[in-house]
Amino acid sequence: MLTPIIKCGQIIIIFSLLVFIGACATSEKSTDDNMTENKVSGTKQIPITTKNRSDSVSVRSEIESRIQPRPNITGKYAVQIGAYTTENNAQKIETITKERFNLLIYIFHDKTDNLYKVFLGDFSTKDEARNFRDNLVRQYPGEYNDAWVSEHPLQ
């Protein structure tokens, strides 16, 4: 009695597979019929439309103007004169300091603490950098009191 049940179960499984395979072949064919005009190497071509945005040029030039070339550093030390949470604040200090000194000055974005650090000078020894920092504090009392000597972060 068990044998006819197994055969009946096998027949049901085989019949189900045939119906499933037949359904796949039918849907595949109908999909092919719909795609014949748009088909290239088995892929559907999608028309690409480009839209020129009126602000794309101004955004690009704004970004390019903010990119600073890497400074030419020959020494090991600099004086860090500030650290700011916004690039705009760092740029203000950089501009003021450029007017005062004919020295290397640059902004370094430290991603570890997300601060924009302003560095001034390029000194071979730590003593040279310390002497400059001390003179800086004397020459501009109250403005550079928190300045300190640091190794160049770009090396």
Residue 90 has a CB neighbour count (10 Å cut-off) of 22
The domain spanning residue 131 has which CATH number? 3.30.70.1070
Q: Is 101 domain-assigned? A: yes
Domain assignment of residue 136, yes or no: yes
Asked whether residue 9 is assigned to any structural domain, the reply reads no
What pLDDT shows up at residue 87? 96
* pLDDT value of position 105: 95
Asked, for residue 26, whether it belongs to a domain, the answer is: no
CA–CA gap between residue 21 and residue 152 (Å, rounded): 69
- Per-residue pLDDT tens, the chain, 155 aa: give them: 555 555 656 666 776 656 566 655 544 444 444 444 444 455 566 666 655 555 555 544 444 444 466 677 889 999 999 999 999 999 999 999 999 999 999 999 999 999 999 999 999 999 999 999 999 999 999 999 999 999 998 76
Q: Which two tokens stand for residue 28?
A: 């595949």
DSSP string, 61-123: HHHHHHPPPPP---SSEEEEEEEESSHHHHHHHHHHHHHH--S-EEEEEETTTTEEEEEEEEE
Q: Indicate whether 15 belongs to any domain.
A: no
pLDDT score recorded for residue 54: 55
Structural domain contains residue 36 = no
Model confidence over 51-91: pLDDT tens digits?
A: 555 555 554 444 444 446 667 788 999 999 999 999 999 99
Whether the predicted model's global pTM rises above the 0.85 cut? no
- pLDDT given at position 119: 97
Q: How many domains are there within the chain?
A: 1
> Residue 140 is part of which domain span?
76-151
